[in-house]
Structure 1
Amino acid sequence: MGPWNRQEFMKEWRRTHRAATLLDPVVVEAAPDSLDALMAEMGAALASYDGRLDMEAVAVKMMAMLLKMDRKVKSSRVRALFKRHLASLGVPKSVHCLTLRLAEEFAVNSAARSPVPPPEHAPRLTDASYLHVALVTDNVLAAAVAVASAARSAANPGRLVFHVVTDKKSYVPMHSWFALHPASPAAVEVKGLHQFDWRDGGVVASVMRTVEEVQRSSLDYHRSGGSSAEREHRRLQASKPSTFSLLNYLKIHLPEFFPELGRVVLLDDDVVVRKDLTGLWEQDLDGNIIGAVGAREGGGICTDKTLGDHLNFSDPAVSGLLSSQCAWSWGVNIIDLDAWRRTNVTETYQLWLQKNRESGFRLWQMASLPPALIAFDGRVQAIEPLWHLPGLGRRVPDPEAARSSAVLHFSGPRKPWLEVAFPELRQLWLGHLNASDSFLQGCGVLEWQ
């Protein structure tokens, strides 16, 4: 029998393939690293055994080599994903530098401390004839782009009033930026959480309940047990900046933030506005609280994610709970604050945050959107998909969809201010920053464009 009896080899190959999962790890590790190395071993075997090959040994060696190569590919992919994940977590040195420079400017430059908005624009803050846009963020650079893009895209920018809500840590650099870079003729208000004068004890208690629940959830999430794989997954999930960002959860208190407003457009900070927001502002919500893309789309077709992507429907606590199968999201929303005040949505949100923590986080992976999907169920009005194109931090969209969308949302880990951003999408964001700005130049913010 010749050295390459094809039928004999294929018989051994099929048998070895079925038993591949039982191969000794030592055998797999000792397998050749390439086809050339395998051929060299086979040539040596032919020379040693009178021109005959042990078909079983050859099949085992080839299968072991393929398994070894497959494991290397998977390991390399996991390492690449992990490194990309780590790259998406931190604050780039350039952005950190910008924050420090702006804080320093606030201390030494009276112009950086000037009122935001200037006194002549203060009456606009509660005037219902203006178009009010809210951002809840601690990211100065992202807020700068969101505001600049919306003002640039407006048919009448003088009608826009931006309300930037931030935390105490970020207030000074945020104020400094907008004091030195006014979006005139639009008005910009910057307000830190520590500056809200809530005289109603019930409001204070409600806000503190959310704050305390997020803090408890953070502690319990980091302490929770489970398998080593589950603990590792939770550790990575918890390392995402958005997972326990208090500002993300405090969006549930928009009626308390703006007690004198009846309606507001809510933008996430990782957006670029491409079209005039007046059409969104004038949306008829038909008695609902929120207008959002993705809510109750016709024909059962979801424009982005389904509720199953966010909630664990195998748990009886949430199965059969919701009337819609398509998931809307934060990012670009028109909100009727008066309609919200007539409901118990905020209390429902807080209750479900607590339930998820007490369940050991079985109901959903810790995030601010899932409890909102439950709390606002039946109170969300679907709006045209052109108002919100999400996922630009996860994938490159169809060019036509990007051109026709009013708001581009860089949701996902590859934010445009990070080096891991998609280069072809980053330019859509960078175009709203002034390359000659001394603060941006001094910190090298635009060096990676």
Structure 2
Amino acid sequence: MIRLCDGDDEFLVLLKKLREELTRALLETSSTDGQIGIREIEDPTLLPASFKDLVKDVTSNKQDIKTFAFKTKAMMAKMEQMVQSARRHEYINWHLASHGIPKSLQCLSLILAEEYAVNAMARSRLPSPEFVSRLTDPSFHHVVLLTDNVLAASVVISSAVNSSTHPEKFVFHVVTDKKTYTAMHAWFAMNSINSAVVEVKGLHQYDWSHKVNVAIKEMLEIHHLIWKNKYDSLKEEVFEYQQELEKNLEVLSPSFVSLLNHLRIYIPELFPDLDKIVFLDDDIVVQHDLSSLWELDLNGKVVGAVVDSWCGRDCCPRRKYNDFFNFTNPMISAKLDSDRCAWLYGMNIFDLQAWRKTNITATYHQWLKLNLNHGFTLWHPGALPPALLAFEGHMQRIDPSWHMAGLGHRVTQVNKYMLETAAVIHFSGPAKPWLEIGAPEVRSFWYRHVNFSNGFIKRCGTTG
């Protein structure tokens, strides 16, 4: 047992008194709105840089304990503001990085385009003549990709083939833009996929009617205006919370104004001879056989999609209708339930025969025009919100194990069991797997399907 002498008792009494005075002073210096009173400092830059400097300043100027408490709280508030500002800037930079295209991907497109120009094999017919009949044969499994990313298309197709028990039943239809067509064609012409058939077609090779061309142009123009209106409004806003900043930065992604991203609403026109297709985004990895998707009973509906997340029925973090639509507008609040879960785009089974019997595409355009007439305030930019409206009543839920999405967001913790058991994992969100900003523990699931022994991959310095 330690015994205290009288001097120690006096010191403890003094220490207790000092603590009480300091507590009282800290309470008195709190702002009336409950915030620390940094606003009351005329020039916050004159505050001491460290606690040591603060003690020196107070003792040398013989300031009272209330002044000490006031400056302490002001310094704490200033440091908190600096931390929050640093976090915001870091997050903004992270999002800006997500808009870039890695040099390795640019390199791959350039050298493949060059190969197409000088190498007859790179220009060989896709598919070869003996397999052309499969392109419209309903007994095969038809998969559609709309993409301008050669490496991403390669990963989607190779992962789907490697995961299939009968790859010879698959036909992949890759639609790309004019600038990417030669590179995309060259890649699949020189890197044949075991057993499966691949077709590569450029948008410039479609002979659409004048009516369809006008409608597509109008659709893209309205999506551009929606995006620009959101961009202009965000320039004037200051976001206090990270989650609010994240949601608004995400809708400014360039992919939200990409023609290939929005062209999925025209799949029946792109493939007039097909009856049933699986649509895959280019930021997915197939891990299990997809064949049974074509056997699903959609109960007369047009699209089969995952609605619920792995956390249970009607559990869908970041995917409530309230996250996509403006429910202050009576047109939206009267039509939709804000607490409803949105279905996932990016791995869907479409019954094109059923689609052609509906007015889904026309409804999609009607909502675009309504949004235009309401000052672009009905929903946030993106392909999903108008699709949710157009496909209302035409969607069939499928089992959540088919599609695990959201891996392109900042992943703090990933359930490895879920990752491995999902039929398709989807890097929806800013951090695409080919970007260095993605989480290594999930990017590895994508890179395992990249053929690093390929000569073109080696020349462009692609690394996992």
TM-score, normalising length from structure 1? Answer: 0.91
One-letter code aligned to 1:327: A
Q: CA deviation at 1:184?
A: 2.6
CA distance in 2, matches of 1:215, 1:67: 41
Aligned match for 2:324, one of 288, 310, 316: 310
CA distance in 2, matches of 1:193, 1:385: 33
Q: CA deviation at 1:227?
A: 6.6
CA distance in 2, matches of 1:228, 1:203: 37
| In the alignment, structure 1 residue 134 sits paired with structure 2 residue 144 | yes
Q: CA deviation at 1:361?
A: 2.3
Moved more, 31-40 or 243-252: 31-40
| In the alignment, structure 1 residue 282 sits paired with structure 2 residue 299 | no
CA distance in 1, matches of 2:460, 2:115: 14
2:387 maps to 372
Aligned-residue CA RMSD (Å) = 2.5
2:104 maps to 94
Moved more, 387-396 or 407-416: 387-396
User: 1:7-55 CA deviation, whole Å, 9 max, x = no partner?
Assistant: 222112112123434633544332233333334434x34xx64xxx512
Moved more, 8-17 or 19-28: 19-28
2:259 maps to 246
Q: Evaluate the alpha carbon distance shift between residue 121 and residue 226 of structure 1 in structure 2; reply closer, same or farther with a 3 A threshold.
A: closer
Aligned match for 1:17, one of 30, 34, 56: 30
Q: Is the 8 A contact 2:142 2:173 kept in 1?
A: yes
1:416 maps to 433
2:281 maps to 268
Moved more, 234-243 or 137-146: 234-243
Q: Evaluate the alpha carbon distance shift between residue 385 and residue 262 of structure 1 in structure 2; reply closer, same or farther with a 3 A threshold.
A: same
Aligned match for 1:190, one of 200, 210, 219: 200
CA distance in 2, matches of 1:235, 1:303: 16
1:177 maps to 187
CA distance in 2, matches of 1:89, 1:17: 43
User: 1:378-427 CA deviation, whole Å, 9 max, x = no partner?
Assistant: 11111000110001111253111101100000011111101111111111
Q: Is the 8 A contact 1:135 1:163 kept in 2?
A: yes
One-letter code aligned to 1:213: I
1:319 maps to 333
2:4 maps to none
Q: CA deviation at 1:312?
A: 1.2
Paired residues in the alignment total 438
| In the alignment, structure 1 residue 432 sits paired with structure 2 residue 440 | no
2:131 maps to 121
CA distance in 2, matches of 1:367, 1:23: 40
CA distance in 2, matches of 1:405, 1:31: 54
CA distance in 1, matches of 2:205, 2:162: 29
One-letter code aligned to 2:51: L
CA distance in 2, matches of 1:412, 1:138: 17
2:355 maps to 340
Q: Is the 8 A contact 1:272 1:409 kept in 2?
A: yes
For structure 1, which runs of at least 5 residues remain unmatched after alignment?
none
CA distance in 2, matches of 1:25, 1:60: 9
User: 1:291-312 CA deviation, whole Å, 9 max, x = no partner?
Assistant: 1001699854337611111111
Q: Is the 8 A contact 1:132 1:163 kept in 2?
A: yes
Q: Is the 8 A contact 2:250 2:430 kept in 1?
A: no
One-letter code aligned to 1:381: Q
2:223 maps to 214
One-letter code aligned to 2:279: L
Q: CA deviation at 1:359?
A: 2.3
2:407 maps to 392
Q: Evaluate the alpha carbon distance shift between residue 428 and residue 299 of structure 1 in structure 2; reply closer, same or farther with a 3 A threshold.
A: closer
2:237 maps to 229
Q: Is the 8 A contact 1:214 1:246 kept in 2?
A: no
Q: Is the 8 A contact 1:106 1:176 kept in 2?
A: yes
| In the alignment, structure 1 residue 38 sits paired with structure 2 residue 54 | yes
User: 1:258-299 CA deviation, whole Å, 9 max, x = no partner?
Assistant: 101111000000000000001222111111111100169985
Q: Evaluate the alpha carbon distance shift between residue 244 and residue 158 of structure 1 in structure 2; reply closer, same or farther with a 3 A threshold.
A: same
Helix, strand or coil: the match of 1:286? coil
Aligned match for 2:114, one of 85, 104, 118: 104
Q: After TM superposition, where is structure 1 displaced by more than 4 Å over at least 4 residues in a row?
A: 1-4, 215-222, 224-227, 233-239, 295-299
Task: Give runs of aligned pairs for residues 27-106 of structure 1, distance below 5 A.
Answer: 27-42=43-58, 44-45=59-60, 49=62, 54-106=64-116
1:164 maps to 174
Q: CA deviation at 1:110?
A: 0.7
Helix, strand or coil: the match of 1:120? helix
One-letter code aligned to 1:310: F
CA distance in 2, matches of 1:207, 1:295: 32
CA distance in 1, matches of 2:290, 2:205: 28
Aligned match for 1:403, one of 415, 420, 432: 420
For structure 2, which runs of at least 5 residues remain unmatched after alignment?
1-12, 240-244
Percent identity over paired residues: 43
2:373 maps to 358
CA distance in 1, matches of 2:288, 2:309: 24
CA distance in 2, matches of 1:134, 1:431: 22
Q: CA deviation at 1:358?
A: 3.0
Moved more, 128-137 or 291-300: 291-300
Q: CA deviation at 1:205?
A: 4.2
Helix, strand or coil: the match of 1:145? helix
User: 1:101-141 CA deviation, whole Å, 9 max, x = no partner?
Assistant: 11111001111111111111111100000000001111111
Helix, strand or coil: the match of 1:116? coil
Q: CA deviation at 1:209?
A: 3.6
Moved more, 5-14 or 242-251: 5-14
2:343 maps to 328
CA distance in 1, matches of 2:116, 2:424: 32
Moved more, 127-136 or 206-215: 206-215
TM-score, normalising length from structure 2? Answer: 0.88
One-letter code aligned to 1:341: R
